[in-house]
Amino acid sequence: MQLIGTGAARAGGEDGKDGKDGEAGYIAASLRGVTKDFGAVRGLDRVDLDFRSGEVTVLLGLSGSGKSTLLRHLNGLQSPTAGEVTVLGTRIDAGDGRGLRRLRRGIGFIFQHFHLVESMSVLENVCTGRLGTLRGPRLSLMMYPRSVRAEAMAQLERVGLADRAFQRADTLSGGQKQRVAIARALIQRPRILLADEPVASLDPVSAAEVIDLLREIGDEQGLTVICSLHQVRTALDFADRIVGLQGGRVVLDEQAAGLTVDAAFTIYDRVAQPETPQPDSTQPDSTRPDSTQRAPALAG
């Protein structure tokens, strides 16, 4: 079965144009021939991908397949061994420190483990999302401009946590922490939102809430969302497009609407269970990566 499909063709197709951001359909980020070697380990292998403005893409693949490495290349945390990474019209792999910092303001990043400052209030955590645009250190909430504090409060309202603004971050549940992390990313006013397994540490109900919120915000703001997940069915419900990775290579690139659960699971089966027959999507299968993690709110 040839897994590379029409998604790649559409993303880089005749109506896709580089560099002009802000209109749906334009290329917000692209990788061209990107290879990343960590010593003898190949993290990414000749990856060619375009991400359209406003599109929600989910990266699927086994542990070690290169999902986090790909996301880190998109915000310049890692540089390719070979190839080019262009984000919002700028070569991120070749930028200087200042240019990279400016570019990163347009890219929000959400992590599995939230990365909040636990001892800080929720509101101050959200304010830290604006540190990239402010000069000098901010040692307390009141050191942020009033306008930033007001905007942080508005973002907290958006994620449904305004009533928790003055609580310490470490008093929140995991789902609430991730919503604070989303508010912190949004206060940057990003054009691209990267999320590395944003629901992997959450219970199914909280996971569904966070996924729904990401989808709503992506739609409202026309954000380009690129998100790694381990839950295949959730990915099919959430994404416009699915990209599958295996050993650092793109092995599947399809619009989610045209993709069956079995086709998506093939990304895993080829490596994980080469001797087993193709799974039957009508039967529950405990060996499937998301068989216990399907978010009830997304179950259809």
Residues within the interface to ligand ATP (CB under 6 A): 38, 41, 43, 61, 63-69
- Spell out the residues 6+ positions from residue 13 whose beta carbon is closer than 8 angstroms to its own: none
Q: Which of Mg ion, ligand ATP, none does residue 69 bind (CB under 5 to 8 Å by kind)? A: ligand ATP
Query: Rounded to the nearest 10 degrees, what angle do helices 174-186 and 204-221 cross at?
Result: 10
Q: How far is the CB of 183 from ligand ATP (least distance, A)?
A: 24
Q: How far is the CB of 66 from ligand ATP (least distance, A)?
A: 4
Euclidean distance between CA atoms 242 and 10, whole angstroms: 13
- In the complex, minimum distance from the CB of residue 62 to ligand ATP, in angstroms, rounded to a whole number: 7
Given ligand ATP, Mg ion, none, residue 65, with its beta carbon under 5 to 8 Å by kind, binds ligand ATP
Pairing between β-strand 224-228 and β-strand 192-196 as defined by DSSP bridges: parallel
| Binding partner selected for residue 289 from Mg ion, ligand ATP, none, CB under the kind-specific 5 to 8 Å limit | none
Q: Which helix (H) or strand (E) holds 225?
A: strand 224-228
Binding piece for Mg ion, criterion CB under 5 A, among 45-53, 60-68, 143-151, 283-291? 60-68
The distance of closest approach from Cβ of residue 180 to ligand ATP in the complex, given in angstroms and rounded to an integer, is 22
CB nearer to ligand ATP: pick between 109 and 144: 109
68 binds Mg ion (CB under 5 A): yes
Instruction: Give CA angle at 175 (227, 134), nearest 5°.
Output: 70
Residue 57 binds Mg ion, judged by CB under 5 A: no
Would you say 54 or 248 has its CB closer to ligand ATP?
248
Q: Which is nearer to ligand ATP, 54 or 76 (CB)?
A: 76
Distance from C-alpha of 42 to C-alpha of 124, rounded to nearest angstrom? 39
Count of chain residues binding Mg ion (CB under 5 A): 2
Burial of 119 by CB count in 10 Å (0-12 exposed, 13-18 middle, 19+ buried)?
Answer: exposed
Alpha-carbon distances, residue 89 vs 25, 27, 106, 163 (angstroms): 14, 8, 11, 39
Q: Which is nearer to ligand ATP, 3 or 134 (CB)?
A: 3
> What's the burial of 283, exposed, middle or buried (CB within 10 Å: 0-12/13-18/19+)?
exposed
Q: Are 123 and 166 in contact (CB under 8 A)?
A: yes
Partners of 190 in beta bridges: none
Q: How far is the CB of 133 from ligand ATP (least distance, A)?
A: 29
Q: How far is the CB of 64 from ligand ATP (least distance, A)?
A: 4
Return the residue nearest Mg ion (CB atom): 68
**What is the binding site for Mg ion (CB under 5 A)?**
67-68
